[in-house]
Amino acid sequence: MTTKGMITQVRSFRLAQRKGYWTILLLLSPALIAVLVFYLAPVILTVIMAFTDLDWRFDWNFIGLGNVERMLGDWLMPGILQVTVLYVIGTLATFNVTFAFILAVVLTSVGHRTGTFFRSLWLLPRFSPPIVYGLIWMWILCPTRLGLLNSVGEALGFARVDWIFHHPLAVIIITNGFIGASLGMLIFTAAIRSIPRELHWAAQVDGAGWLQDIRYVIIPQLRWPLMFITAFQTLSLLTSFEYILIITGGGPFFATTVWAMYAYNLAFGGYFAPFQFGYGSAMSLVLVVIGAAASLFYWRVFRFRTMMTEPGIEVV
């Protein structure tokens, strides 16, 4: 082949390659633009705003770590921190991991039809509009005689109770737990189904009963899913407050105001001096940092790295 021919070939190859890049860019750009404008830009904005005292006047005054100082001096923070910790750990320990696991075990032990019915039932709240799910709980817990618990209680001779007022923490843990349990249920169910049958057989030959089968076969086989759900749900719970906002509104007083909700209320809430965008962003940012720290902690403790395998991606 002549030099000239080679040069033209290289040139046409480069041309084709460049054309390929344009195709790639064309196909990627809608998603890239959307993510840049509505996801990446807000992330960067949040970080910048966290260092300002931005409020309803929309003045971008940079105040360094002023918001962190304010946070440390905020008389509401100790209470909010306590509620957040109790809410996250309480929901995780009761519903999102433990009960989800029990549900998965029970639903794989009963008949197929029963299993499918109850799986759908538990998923229904997850896909219902939050306001509808919230209304159902408002009715169940309603302090008047119209509420389910109170009307049944009255018929049985008990006095009426204002459930939200007297048991605020239990209310938010239960109402969120009924949503949270279904994710663990799905993941654990899939994991239980993929346990090789031989393991169960081996356990039975060794004389294991049903409970021993759970203890010595299922739980060890579900180590990773259990850890994954614990880590994943910690993050979800830290940053979710929709159902709390609907059902208790953060009250009575601040008894159910979790960290993420406090940050939200600082900016958009109706109570005391709203539109504190700067301080609210700082609260959000610190929460994300706490979440990242929690992930790192889980990563270390659970040794997630040993679970990671290279994703199989084909490349031309």
Say whether residue 226 binds another protein (CB under 8 A): no
Say whether residue 27 binds another protein (CB under 8 A): yes
Stretch that binds another protein, among 6-14, 73-81, 135-143, 158-166 (CB under 8 A): 135-143
Residues 6+ apart with CB under 8 A from 12: none
Nearest to 168 by CA among 79, 254, 239: 254
Q: Decide whether 77 or 195 has the Cβ nearer to another protein.
A: 195
Rounded to whole angstroms, how far apart are CA atoms 258 and 255? 9
Q: Which of residues 193-222 bind another protein (CB under 8 A)?
A: 197, 200-201, 203-205, 210, 213
Say whether residue 96 binds another protein (CB under 8 A): yes
Please report how close the Cβ of residue 58 comes to another protein at its closest, in angstroms.
9
Q: Decide whether 69 or 154 has the Cβ nearer to another protein.
A: 154
Please report how close the Cβ of residue 151 comes to another protein at its closest, in angstroms.
4
272 CB burial (10 A radius; 0-12, 13-18, 19+): exposed
Provide the 3-class DSSP secondary structure of residue 223: helix
Please report how close the Cβ of residue 274 comes to another protein at its closest, in angstroms.
11
Nearest to 238 by CA among 291, 168, 298: 291
222, 237 Cβ separation under 8 angstroms: no
Angle between helices 168-193 and 223-239 (to 10 degrees): 150
Q: Total residues contacting another protein (rule CB under 8 A)?
A: 113
Among 186, 191, 214, 226, binds another protein (CB under 8 A): 186
Q: Which of residues 253-312 bind another protein (CB under 8 A)?
A: 260, 263-264, 267-268, 277, 280-281, 284-285, 287-288, 291-292, 295, 312
Say whether residue 109 binds another protein (CB under 8 A): yes
b/e string for 277-295 if b means 16 or more Cβ within 10 A? bbbbbbbbbbbbeebeeee
Say whether residue 106 binds another protein (CB under 8 A): yes
- x/- letters, 29..58, toward another protein (CB under 8 A): -xxx-xx-xxxxxxx-xx--x---------
Q: Which of residues 143-182 bind another protein (CB under 8 A)?
A: 144, 146-148, 150-152, 155, 175-176, 178-180
- x/- letters, 54..83, toward another protein (CB under 8 A): ------------------------------
229, 97 Cβ separation under 8 angstroms: yes
- End-to-end alpha-carbon separation of the chain, Å? 27
Nearest to 108 by CA among 51, 168, 199, 187: 187
Rounded to whole angstroms, how far apart are CA atoms 250 and 253? 7
Say whether residue 230 binds another protein (CB under 8 A): no
**Beta bridge mates, 62:** 52
Q: Decide whether 222 or 245 has the Cβ nearer to another protein.
A: 245
Say whether residue 228 binds another protein (CB under 8 A): no
Please report how close the Cβ of residue 2 comes to another protein at its closest, in angstroms.
28
Among 235, 251, 254, 274, binds another protein (CB under 8 A): 235
Rounded to whole angstroms, how far apart are CA atoms 94 and 173? 9
